[in-house]
């Protein structure tokens, strides 16, 4: 399959895609962020998804010049599709990327979108932009397809190459070309979806399903905490049944699980259906930051600590463990809610992108070694560095009086800490 590949958007998704194709042939990696391009040209990836060695070994042209895209005839668009402050789909980056590709488009090209969208966006929203910018006709001069990304940031096992890739095309000929192109790099193989809309829908329900399951765990956690029952112990017991789904409670952030359900419900409302289960799950998960902060305050009260001005540190700020990405982290909800109680928590995260956290949230991290005289510690993210903390190290974080530990991910031995006199709480 002799196609010249370009990848538009070199973030957590686009860069691994570009590198995978760059191992096979010359690949163009395009991003509007000049700082990002400069770093990648030096074989540096601040996201940690791709090593310097992998970047150096791939045949890649990193560029922010639209003219360079004209050398490719198979364009993969992998830009973020977040939601706005009202949880409505924000397609602004996708629309701009479509304009960019449209300006470089020529006869015979294929454009494949990987960004998460609601069913219909590729053909009804993106195609008109491609046609307007290029002066070409879709289906006659160029073709489109959709292949949803399944990359899991920070996961070194489930990679592009090892996950079955869903592919789709506007017609059978396009589908065949798209499938064969991705088969060059996806060792696990491809699944040919019946249509572009089917592939778009498959993506949003994958993460909506996970979101609902975690919401159920979070609701159970709320119930069991009111009943004085340890949720983790309940889940371990229930998990001995062969068909019990092993989800756990927690803060649900990131670019997929906390976002994709809103894309589906937005489209559902356009056709007159108001989601019940999906939005109910979203409400539960969106409220967990406040719930954690409220319980931190209750724990401080039980430990006879003053609330206003209490010294609290949050360990972990990224949206998931062992990943530097802080965008759409729900730890920020805990932070803001504690501020409402007159508590300005410190935050430590040895894995997080400190520059990104300052830019996105105005948050400056403290060094782990500087943490002392705390009233409470909130262990929020299951980084490997935090898993190795023993009770002696934990003790050193605190001052005099009863120690308060909120272990959101259940990383520590509850009995050990309670036996040591801690006020211990977990989801």
The string of pLDDT tens digits covering residues 304-361 is 999 999 999 999 999 989 988 898 899 999 999 999 999 999 999 999 989 889 988 9
CB 105 within 8 A of CB 130: yes
Phi and psi, residue 123, nearest 5°: -85, -35
With 90 as the cut, is the pLDDT of residue 255 above it?
no
Domains of the chain: residue spans and CATH: 5-204 (3.40.50.720), 214-425 (3.40.50.720)
DSSP state letter for 123: I
E strand residue ranges, 119-258: 143-146, 165-169, 190-192
Instruction: Return the pLDDT at 154.
Output: 64
Instruction: Return the pLDDT at 209.
Output: 94
CB 345 within 8 A of CB 363: no
Relative orientation angle of helices 196-227 and 277-286, to the nearest 10 degrees: 50
With 90 as the cut, is the pLDDT of residue 48 above it?
no
Enumerate residues 6+ apart whose C-beta is below 8 A from 223: none
Instruction: Return the pLDDT at 50.
Output: 87
Please state, as a whole number, how many other Cβ atoms lie within 10 Å of the Cβ of residue 354: 15
Q: pLDDT-based confidence at 199, cuts 50/70/90?
A: very high
* Mean pLDDT of the region 126-130: 97
Mean of per-residue pLDDT scores for the chain: 93
Element (H, E) at 340: helix 331-340
The string of pLDDT tens digits covering residues 233-250 is 999 999 999 999 999 999
Instruction: Return the pLDDT at 41.
Output: 93
Cα separation, 258 vs 395, in Å, equals 34
Cα end-to-end distance, the chain, whole Å = 51
Instruction: Return the pLDDT at 1.
Output: 58
Instruction: Return the pLDDT at 94.
Output: 97
* Mean pLDDT of the region 95-116: 96
* Mean pLDDT of the region 123-151: 95
Cα separation, 44 vs 50, in Å, equals 8
Instruction: Return the pLDDT at 169.
Output: 97
* Mean pLDDT of the region 58-83: 94
Nearest Cα to Cα of residue 265 among 329, 310, 201 = 201
Residues 126, 138, 256, 323: which is the catalytic one?
Answer: 256
Please name the residue that has the structure tokens 């895209």. 69
Q: Considering the chain, what percentage of its residues have pLDDT values greater than 90?
A: 85
The string of pLDDT tens digits covering residues 260-294 is 999 999 999 999 999 999 999 999 999 999 999 99
With 90 as the cut, is the pLDDT of residue 299 above it?
yes
State yes or no: is 256 an active-site residue. yes
Instruction: Return the pLDDT at 47.
Output: 82
The string of pLDDT tens digits covering residues 376-421 is 999 999 999 999 999 999 999 999 999 999 999 999 999 999 999 9
* Mean pLDDT of the region 80-85: 90
Q: Considering the chain, what percentage of its residues have pLDDT values greater than 70?
A: 98
Cα separation, 249 vs 408, in Å, equals 8
Instruction: Return the pLDDT at 138.
Output: 96
Instruction: Return the pLDDT at 157.
Output: 67
Instruction: Return the pLDDT at 159.
Output: 76
Instruction: Return the pLDDT at 182.
Output: 95
Please give the C-alpha separations between residue 382 and each of 59, 223, 275, 315, 404, in angstroms, as whole numbers: 35, 23, 32, 9, 18
């Amino acid at each position: 399959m002799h196609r010249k590949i370009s990848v538009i958007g070199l973030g957590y998704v686009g860069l691994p895609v570009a590198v995978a194709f760059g191992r096979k042939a010359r690949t163009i990696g395009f991003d509007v962020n000049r700082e990002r391009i400069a770093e990648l040209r030096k074989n540096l990836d601040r996201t940690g998804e791709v090593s310097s060695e992998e970047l150096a070994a791939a045949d890649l042209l990193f560029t922010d010049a639209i003219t360079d895209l004209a050398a490719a005839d198979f364009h993969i668009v992998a830009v973020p599709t977040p939601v706005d402050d009202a949880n409505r789909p924000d397609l602004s980056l996708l629309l701009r990327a479509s304009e960019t590709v449209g300006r470089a488009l020529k006869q015979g090209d294929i454009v494949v979108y990987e960004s998460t969208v609601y069913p219909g966006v590729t053909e009804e929203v993106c195609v008109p932009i491609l046609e307007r910018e290029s002066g070409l006709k879709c289906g006659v001069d160029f073709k489109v397809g959709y292949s949803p990304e399944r990359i899991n940031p920070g996961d070194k096992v489930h990679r592009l190459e090892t996950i079955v890739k869903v592919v789709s095309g506007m017609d059978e000929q396009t589908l065949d070309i798209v499938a064969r192109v991705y088969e060059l790099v996806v060792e696990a193989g491809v699944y040919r979806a019946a249509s572009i809309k089917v592939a778009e829908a498959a993506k949003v329900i994958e993460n909506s399903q996970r979101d609902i399951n975690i919401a159920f765990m979070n609701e159970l956690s709320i119930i069991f905490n009111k009943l004085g029952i340890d949720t983790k112990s309940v889940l371990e017991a229930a998990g001995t049944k062969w068909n019990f789904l092993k989800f756990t409670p927690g803060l649900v952030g990131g670019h997929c699980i906390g976002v994709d359900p809103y894309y589906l419900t937005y489209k559902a409302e356009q056709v007159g259906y108001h989601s019940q289960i999906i939005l109910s799950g979203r409400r539960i998960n969106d409220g967990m930051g406040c719930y954690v902060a409220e319980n931190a305050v209750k724990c401080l009260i039980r430990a006879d600590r003053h609330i206003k001005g209490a010294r609290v540190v949050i360990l972990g700020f990224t949206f998931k463990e062992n990943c530097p990405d802080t965008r759409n982290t729900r730890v920020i909800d805990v932070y803001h809610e504690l501020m409402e109680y007159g508590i300005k928590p410190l935050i430590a995260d040895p894995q997080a992108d400190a520059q990104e956290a300052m830019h996105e949230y105005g948050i400056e991290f403290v060094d782990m070694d500087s943490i002392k005289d705390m009233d409470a510690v909130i262990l929020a993210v299951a980084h490997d560095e935090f898993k190795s903390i023993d009770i002696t190290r934990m003790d050193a974080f605190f001052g005099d009086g009863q120690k308060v530990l909120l272990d959101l991910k259940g990383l520590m031995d509850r009995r050990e800490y309670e036996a040591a006199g801690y006020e211990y709480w977990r989801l």
